[in-house]
Structure 1
Amino acid sequence: MEHRKAVSLRPLVQSFLVLCCLCIVALFVSACSSMTGNLSGSGMASVTTMISDPATCATPNGPFSHVYVTITDVKIHNSASAGANDSGWVDLTPNLAKAPKQVDLLGLANNQCFLASLGDAQQIQAGTYQQIRIILASDSASISSNACGNGSANCVQTSKDSTFHTLSLSSEDQTGIKIPPGQMAGGGLTVAAGKTTDLDIDFLTCQSIVQQGNGQYRLKPVLHAGEVSTVSASINGTVLDGSTGKPVAGTTWVAVEQKDLSGVDRVVQSTIANADGTFVFCPLASGNYDVVVSGVRSSDGALYAPSIVTGVAVGDTTGNIKLNAPTLPAASSFANLNGLVTSASNASPAAPISIDATLTALETVNSVVYTIPQQPAASPFYGVSQVVTTVAGPVGTPPVACPSGTDCINYSLPVPSGSAYIGAWSSGGAMLSQPSPLASYAVDGITTSTCTANDVNSNPPIALTGSGPFANVAVTTNLQFTGCQ
């Protein structure tokens, strides 16, 4: 009798074991699904990784002959908030760990507009990725065939005395340089199953190097990234003074922009127009861009009203873009947007913590928000944005005591007081008009540190009023970064 009971229970035991296995598999699949987030389960894709840099600070016009960085890895993640040590990172350059790549960011690009390839194509899961991290070698690392004359893995060589200086890192050799969605074309990198995607990392060198008070150089990295084509893919044009029909007698910044997920036009690439007014952007991902131009007149420092040409496709030329000289006196042609950036840690209670933040001026034109390249009177200046570092107060002029539990820094962004001229691209040249005489601005701050919000905006926009002068216009809403680590 007991034997018959044992035999009759075997099927039940087997069914129970099968059910347990199925449960475990289901839990495993569920866990994997939660880890991959917005990754597609439809297949695999290939990604190649390259570096570019439309440098504006190279000799003879800039202070540097060479800027060398040594890259040891590039990783990508589907989550914008993933920490450096979180799971789910995908290695795009596994071979760099054994053979780091030293790249001269001021070197000559090849015919395809790239400075260097960072390895062979890698197979990754298809889907959308929203964060990239670039790991640099520590300054003391031993590098084969090191081009830095002082033995550092990362260095700058000045054009004035040809001296090599160590390019100091913060955490780029540990946690890596973070490229968040706001600095990725389209707000993220989408790779399709069965396709090969060419990822370009645009290293904005000239905005990323700061000479500190002790004379040493430090990397405050500003990067953009996005899919490109290795075939010729460019936008070009010419900037002219609207009153003379000749190249602007001063400095002209040109930026190509695309909307991010919140509808704000973000800079994808930027450059200074040549002496004859011409400019070229390459490489660019296929699609449409807005070309935004601003300029400063060298004779008196007056700022031109910006010009915006919308809907420019890769492969097109903008033709001549006119910049309209200010009708106001030079002192009234700009406004200073002033304020305070604060940063607090995620501790409880919050404690001061130092972060780097990239600040840009956003102008609303016809209900659309565009990034306006800055044209500060201070020289030298090599970027469309301003990078600041919060520190323990008091700081600035006049001194400002940081709010309790924060580090802080004053900022001042000089921007054109005249509203932008805008028009849609046309093969015969864009017809630009000015919707209003004076501009409306907000200040935007993005940090690569992990904070509660990595993108902080000073909305609502400030509408400039009156006939000037505008030098004392101030942003009263501080940019507050909280929960940082």
Structure 2
Amino acid sequence: MGCAGVVGLTACGGGDDSSAPAQGTLQVSMTDAPACGFDNVYVTVSKIRVNGNPDADESGSGWVDIPVTPARRIDLLSLTNGVLATLGKAALPAGEYQQIRLVLAPTAGQPYANAVVQTGGDGAEIALSTPSAAQSGYKIIRPFTVAPDTLTDLVLDFDACRSIVARGNGGFNLKPVVTAIPMVVSGKIQGYAPAGSYVYAERGGVVVKGTVATSAGAFTLSPVEQSSTAGDVDVVVVPPAQASVGVGIIRSVPVTAGTSTTVSTQARPILPPASAWATVSGTVTPLSAEATLRALQATGGATFEIASTFASPATGAYSMSLPVAGPAVGTYQTTLPIPLTQDMTAAGRYTVEAASAAGAVQSAQVDLGAGPATRDFAF
């Protein structure tokens, strides 16, 4: 009896030494979190690659390619609220895989392979400047298993909002923020909130999935990974500033693979309290810090991300508009509606966290109850 090593993985067939290694099928799809300030975000995917070695570089051994033929140009903003775009499917050796690479086509010619259309602009596509990794493959470390004679669904969650950085000259850089989630361990969360709200599933104040509520207020957070170690998620609703309402939070929402959890209905949506909005802004130096900024709010002994942005690579400037009223918070229960109680002690109080590309983190407190605030960071 024998076991053949294939592309750096261990895959065993039945029978004798001459038996073929076990095969499975991997299907890869893509979905998106909400984008900030764009009507369209286009990326063109040419190939997906997987490897059993998390440290393999793009020219190393052990890669199995899933071709996307022809290369597929996708508007990421059409993939919110659980909508998936299938990229490709291929048979490959069964076993444990560790690394995925998302390979994008180069931005060249028109229509641009990778481009954005700004909200409120003239409708013209603006080319996205892509890093070299886009062509060699954007690296995602996420262990997953391909079982013999089984179709494995893997979803690449491309966060457009966190992936686009303004250059300051009217152009934009693509800095991909992508996670990989096996559907077999994922569930969904559904509900209603004010139309146009950003809705996040968070664990420990870190966004694990986001979407934007439709014009009817419906939202679906999917896929959200079930986790025996990280536990439930918190659902954070942040309506647009023009809605003149604040933040709604539902704590401890369970995620069960293959099922849907409902947190609100169209008749009784999540309705945050009325709120004015104020802006926190500043500058991050040096420009080489390439900082990401988050606005965090503490309530009920936990911390939640309310907004995030990038510092401009041209000027280092950043700005975030935030609700001044205290958040309305409730804990999940199967009986709807879930009651929310406003936390007045948290009104206008935020921690602004700046993280450099090198991993250094700084934070500063602001109280927007007194009006707009300025906080600068120097790395």
Q: Same fold (TM over 0.5)?
A: yes
What are the within-5 Å matches in structure 2 for residues 385-396 of structure 1? Answer: 385-391=308-314, 395=315
Q: Who is 2:101 aligned against? A: 133
Provide the rounded CA distance (Å) in 2 between the counterparts of 1:163 and 1:297: 26
Provide the rounded CA distance (Å) in 2 between the counterparts of 1:296 and 1:112: 21
1:102 pairs, out of 72, 79, 89, with: 72
Provide the rounded CA distance (Å) in 2 between the counterparts of 1:125 and 1:444: 40
Q: Who is 2:180 aligned against? A: 225
* Residue 171, structure 1, aligned to residue 139, structure 2: no
Alignment check: 8 A CA contact 2:31 2:79 kept:
yes
Provide the rounded CA distance (Å) in 2 between the counterparts of 1:197 and 1:68: 24
Provide the rounded CA distance (Å) in 2 between the counterparts of 1:178 and 1:293: 30
Instruction: Name stretches of at least 5 consecutive residues in structure 1 with no aligned partner.
Output: 1-31, 141-147, 181-187, 240-246, 344-353, 375-384, 396-408, 481-485
Alignment check: 8 A CA contact 2:165 2:312 kept:
no
What are the within-5 Å matches in structure 2 for residues 74-113 of structure 1? Answer: 74-75=49-50, 79=54, 82=55, 84=57, 91=63, 93-96=65-68, 99=69, 101-106=71-76, 113=83
What are the within-5 Å matches in structure 2 for residues 79-478 of structure 1? Answer: 79=54, 82=55, 84=57, 91=63, 93-96=65-68, 99=69, 101-106=71-76, 113-123=83-93, 125-126=95-96, 129=98, 132-140=100-108, 150=110, 152-156=112-116, 163=124, 165-179=126-140, 188-191=142-145, 197-209=152-164, 215-229=170-184, 233-239=187-193, 247=194, 251-257=196-202, 259=203, 264-286=204-226, 288-298=232-242, 302=244, 304-313=246-255, 314-319=259-264, 320-326=269-275, 330=276, 333-334=277-278, 336=280, 338-342=282-286, 354=288, 356-372=290-306, 374=307, 385-391=308-314, 395=315, 409-428=316-335, 429-435=337-343, 437-438=345-346, 439-445=349-355, 447=357, 451=358, 453=359, 456-459=360-363, 462=365, 464=367, 468-472=369-373, 474=375, 478=378
Residues 318/112 of structure 1: CA separation in 2 closer, same or farther (3 Å cut):
closer
1:56 offset after TM fit, Å? 5.4
Residue by residue, what CA displacement relative to the aligned partner does 1:176-231 show, whole Å, maximum 9, x if unpaired? 33446xxxxxxx44438667642211223355345655555542323333222499
Alignment check: 8 A CA contact 1:72 1:100 kept:
no
Give the aligned residue type for 1:52. Answer: T
Provide the rounded CA distance (Å) in 1 between the counterparts of 2:172 and 2:43: 12
Residues 48/414 of structure 1: CA separation in 2 closer, same or farther (3 Å cut):
same
Alignment check: 8 A CA contact 2:27 2:153 kept:
yes
Q: Who is 1:6 aligned against? A: none
Provide the rounded CA distance (Å) in 1 between the counterparts of 2:81 and 2:241: 33
Instruction: Name stretches of at least 5 consecutive residues in structure 2 with no aligned partner.
Output: 14-21
Alignment check: 8 A CA contact 2:82 2:221 kept:
no
Residues 253/123 of structure 1: CA separation in 2 closer, same or farther (3 Å cut):
same
Alignment check: 8 A CA contact 1:254 1:294 kept:
yes
Alignment check: 8 A CA contact 1:238 1:321 kept:
yes
Higher relative strand content: 2
1:279 offset after TM fit, Å? 1.4
Residue by residue, what CA displacement relative to the aligned partner does 1:337-390 show, whole Å, maximum 9, x if unpaired? 5452546xxxxxxxxxx4754432233333333222x2xxxxxxxxxx313454
Give the aligned residue type for 1:371. Answer: E
Provide the rounded CA distance (Å) in 1 between the counterparts of 2:354 and 2:173: 23
Residues 334/309 of structure 1: CA separation in 2 closer, same or farther (3 Å cut):
farther
Provide the rounded CA distance (Å) in 2 between the counterparts of 1:361 and 1:110: 23
Residues 469/132 of structure 1: CA separation in 2 closer, same or farther (3 Å cut):
farther
Q: Percent same amino acid among aligned pairs?
A: 23
The two structures have a TM-score, normalised by structure 1, of: 0.58
The two structures have a TM-score, normalised by structure 2, of: 0.72
Alignment length, in residue pairs? 348
Give the aligned residue type for 2:67. Answer: N
Q: Who is 1:19 aligned against? A: none
Residues 211/441 of structure 1: CA separation in 2 closer, same or farther (3 Å cut):
closer
Residue by residue, what CA displacement relative to the aligned partner does 1:138-186 show, whole Å, maximum 9, x if unpaired? 234xxxxxxx8x2644345789766555433232344433446xxxxxx
